[in-house]
Chain A
Amino acid sequence: MAIEFIDIVETSLAGLGTGSLMALTGVAFVIIYKATKVINLAIGEMLMIGAFVFYGFSASLALPIWASVPLTLAVSAVIGGVIERTMIRPLLKDNPVSVFMVTIGLTSVLIGVVELIWSAEPRRLPEFLPSQPVIIADAFIPSKTAYSFLIAAAAMAVLITVFSFWRGGIALRATATDRAAASSVGIDVPGVFSFSWMLAATVAALAGILVGSVGGISSAMGLFGLSVFVVVIVGGLDSILGALIAGLFIGWLEAMVGRFLGGEFKLLATFSILLVVLVVRPYGLFGTHEIERL
């Protein structure tokens, strides 16, 4: 059976759609890493909790979309802030291994909470994206994929603008470069820590809403985080640009592998890439390679 060109194009476009969501979640990861140097293993679960909060507002409470989305983002910001303040901050001065393990514990807690409230059953989010499929040239793209790509792209454009020009974004970058120096020029470093977790939780929740509206939600959807992990390692833990490019690439790759080799090969392919990158270029494509000071 010959692989048809149009099939490749459609699969690629669908993959870029998923990839944009990986990129968005990857950006959330990078924000946390930049500000607090925490490798957040629970990023997929933060995405999941955002999706379920949205489900709570839009399905259980049947609020309209224009109210549910901002409410979800606000609640997620609060959750992110609470996590930072209660679990991360007490250990930030300790070694990075402890904080990392805290995020592992967080994974387990968030899955438990979701299953406790909503059970482990998969659910569907209310339809809110236009259902008219998008056709580019001859290629057919499911509408949800297309619109979530656009929304993710818009969100990232906003984030990047904010980081470049707004004072808070500059404070975040300053903290990322040198905490002591940032603090000495009057930047509220603990505030930046809190802010970064709140912002990341918000971004992850937005990604969660989009991922959920495409593929439904369940307590296992945090697995999406596994691919995001690969994205940030490949792109470089502290590089927003890296997350964008690697996100699109990994999304595309998973789609192609899934379509032409079979779904079970998806994670195998991405994680093999991960291993290669770890060995060949451990700090990723765009990450900062830090020289160790003695």
Chain B
Amino acid sequence: MRVGTAKESYAADEGLFKTDTQKVWFGLLMAGLLLFPLNGSNYWMFLAVLVMINVISTTGLNILTGYTGQVSLGHAAFMAVGAYTVAFFDGRFDTPVLLNLVLAGAVAAGIGYLVGLPSLRIKGLYLAIATLAASVILGFVFLNWTPVTGGLRGLNVPTATIAGIELATPDRLYWLVMPICVVMVLAAKNLFRTRVGRAFIAIRDRDISAEIIGISLFKYKLMSFAISSFYAGVAGGLWAYLFRVVTPESFPALASIFFLAAVIVGGAGTIVGGIFGAVFMTLIPEFLKLSATALVPWFPDASIYLAPVRNIIFGLLIIGFLIFEPMGLAEMWRRTRRYFALWPFRT
């Protein structure tokens, strides 16, 4: 029984992690992240970095879609903005890595803000269409603003270098991406402990009554757009350092669907949901690749079917989760934990 009279208990109740169990899980996760590089496999390190980049981006989309209720069909385009920003500044001016990443986030946030502007007049799914329009227009810019974006051929990205250390391989990049990922996810969690985050949720749940309690829909929708794009921008910047090249093909429209799927599958409107979703969705294609390789003795051209099967699975996951488990993996995880907490028959 939680008693809310003594002020100490409010402090605990308002904490980042409300229960000891949560603190333990967080400790375990941190320990895991610190120890993970010991596995020594380049493949796994690459995958870990990719997963964490996707966690950042998914968390960003989760803030906009899961928490604020605004569907974005252009999230990948904001990642592309971040990637191009990093490629441009690092390649052209050799500016420091962390500055480039902040710029990547800021430029993306600025454009996200612009895309959100129509929300002054339009609401609901019309806004989703505006994001679609924005991503088409951004795609046009990437392809045709050759002096800055390198046109069809794109831009090469220099190796990320911090304090003279070249982060050329995933196992080194890990130590850049991992702390950024942890900080950004915790920051997102903090956001929803305050009035700003509550205002986002209010807009999602009932925008009429949000207005009556004095929330400016316009201001907070724009803010949500900007924050979400900032996350995408930083993730895109890190992506650029990982893949070392950015072209108009780097972030196709399907990538936006990928992130929507991650939010839905993981659990819209919960921070752990974004993490689960990003991990799960990043690993699926890898798992499919492994299965295809394993099937080669029986089906020699199993790998041709990889891309279509992946598309079908992404789509079915979105549909299936929306219908059968709209709260996503996060909810399944919660149920599992509760099951074990009650086991055997404790109440």
Contact B312 A109, beta carbon cutoff 8 Å: yes
Quick check: which of A16-24, A60-68, A268-276 contacts chain B, the rest being far away?
Answer: A268-276
Give Cα A104–Cα B317 distance, bound, in whole angstroms.
11
- Partner of B125 from the list A94, A96, A105, A294 (CB cut-off 8 Å) is A96
- Partner of A264 from the list B73, B128, B144 (CB cut-off 8 Å) is B144
A91 sits at the interface (CB 8 A): yes
B254 sits at the interface (CB 8 A): yes
* Segment 290-347 of B: residues with Cβ below 8 Å from A: 304-305, 307-319, 322-323, 326
- The smallest C-beta distance from A284 to any residue of chain B, in angstroms, reads 10
Which chain B positions have C-beta within 8 A of A98? 322, 326
Contact A271 to B122, CB < 8 A, known contacts A98-B322, A107-B315, A112-B309:
no
- Partner of B308 from the list A90, A116, A233, A271 (CB cut-off 8 Å) is A116
Contact A91 B322, beta carbon cutoff 8 Å: yes
Contact B319 A105, beta carbon cutoff 8 Å: yes
B170 sits at the interface (CB 8 A): no
B15 sits at the interface (CB 8 A): no
Contact A101 B264, beta carbon cutoff 8 Å: yes
A115 sits at the interface (CB 8 A): yes
Quick check: which of B4-12, B86-94, B135-143 contacts chain A, the rest being far away?
Answer: B135-143
Give Cα A109–Cα B320 distance, bound, in whole angstroms.
12
Centre residue among A112, A120, A294 by max chain B CB count within 10 A:
A112
Contact A102 B126, beta carbon cutoff 8 Å: no
Contact B309 A116, beta carbon cutoff 8 Å: yes
Contact A100 B128, beta carbon cutoff 8 Å: yes
Contact A100 B125, beta carbon cutoff 8 Å: yes
Contact A115 to B126, CB < 8 A, known contacts A275-B118, A275-B133:
no
A164 sits at the interface (CB 8 A): no
- The smallest C-beta distance from B45 to any residue of chain A, in angstroms, reads 29
B130 sits at the interface (CB 8 A): yes
Chain A interface SS verdict (over half): helix
A87 sits at the interface (CB 8 A): yes
Contact B129 A87, beta carbon cutoff 8 Å: no
Which chain B positions have C-beta within 8 A of A100? 71, 125, 128
Contact A278 to B126, CB < 8 A, known contacts A104-B260, A264-B143:
yes
Contact B126 A282, beta carbon cutoff 8 Å: yes
* Segment 107-155 of B: residues with Cβ below 8 Å from A: 118, 121-122, 124-126, 128-130, 132-134, 136-137, 140, 143-144
Contact A97 B307, beta carbon cutoff 8 Å: no
Which chain A positions have C-beta within 8 A of B208? 292, 294
Give Cα A133–Cα B65 distance, bound, in whole angstroms.
50
Closest residue of chain B to A108 (Cβ to Cβ) is B315
Contact B140 A264, beta carbon cutoff 8 Å: yes
Q: How large is the interface on B (under 10, 10 to 19, 20 to 34, 35 or more residues)?
A: 35 or more
Contact A119 to B304, CB < 8 A, known contacts A275-B133, A278-B129, A292-B208:
yes
Contact A108 B257, beta carbon cutoff 8 Å: yes
- The smallest C-beta distance from A224 to any residue of chain B, in angstroms, reads 14
- The smallest C-beta distance from A91 to any residue of chain B, in angstroms, reads 6
B69 sits at the interface (CB 8 A): yes
B261 sits at the interface (CB 8 A): yes
Q: Give the number of chain A interface residues (Cβ < 8 Å).
A: 43
Contact A105 to B322, CB < 8 A, known contacts A116-B312, A282-B122:
yes
Give Cα A272–Cα B304 distance, bound, in whole angstroms.
37
Give Cα A212–Cα B132 distance, bound, in whole angstroms.
25
Contact A97 to B71, CB < 8 A, known contacts A105-B261, A112-B309, A279-B118:
yes
Closest residue of chain B to A267 (Cβ to Cβ) is B136
Contact A109 to B316, CB < 8 A, known contacts A90-B323, A104-B257:
yes
Closest residue of chain B to A284 (Cβ to Cβ) is B126
Which chain B positions have C-beta within 8 A of A294? 208
Contact B319 A87, beta carbon cutoff 8 Å: yes
Give Cα A87–Cα B316 distance, bound, in whole angstroms.
10
- Partner of A115 from the list B129, B143, B307, B319 (CB cut-off 8 Å) is B307
A113 sits at the interface (CB 8 A): yes
A252 sits at the interface (CB 8 A): no
Which chain A positions have C-beta within 8 A of B314? 105, 108, 112
Contact A39 to B125, CB < 8 A, known contacts A102-B319, A105-B317, A268-B136:
yes
Which chain B positions have C-beta within 8 A of A109? 311-312, 315-316, 319
Which chain B positions have C-beta within 8 A of A113? 308, 312
Contact A101 to B71, CB < 8 A, known contacts A108-B312, A112-B312, A278-B121:
yes
Contact A271 B137, beta carbon cutoff 8 Å: yes
Which chain B positions have C-beta within 8 A of A105? 257, 261, 314-319, 322
Give Cα A114–Cα B309 distance, bound, in whole angstroms.
10
* Segment 237-275 of A: residues with Cβ below 8 Å from B: 264-265, 267-268, 271-272, 274-275
Binding site for B on A (CB under 8 A): 39, 41, 87, 90-91, 94, 96-98, 100-102, 104-116, 119-120, 226, 229, 233, 264-265, 267-268, 271-272, 274-275, 278-279, 282, 292, 294
Having A41-B73, A271-B133, one finds 9 other A-B pairs with CB under 8 Å, namely A98-B322, A100-B128, A112-B309, A112-B313, A113-B312, A115-B307, A274-B133, A278-B121, A279-B118
A-B contact pairs, 24 of them (CB 8 A): A39-B125, A91-B322, A97-B125, A100-B125, A101-B322, A102-B318, A104-B73, A104-B257, A105-B257, A105-B315, A108-B318, A112-B308, A112-B310, A112-B312, A119-B304, A120-B308, A226-B132, A267-B136, A267-B140, A268-B137, A272-B137, A275-B133, A278-B130, A294-B208
Listed from nearest, the 3 A-B pairs whose CB atoms lie closest are: A105-B318, A112-B311, A108-B315
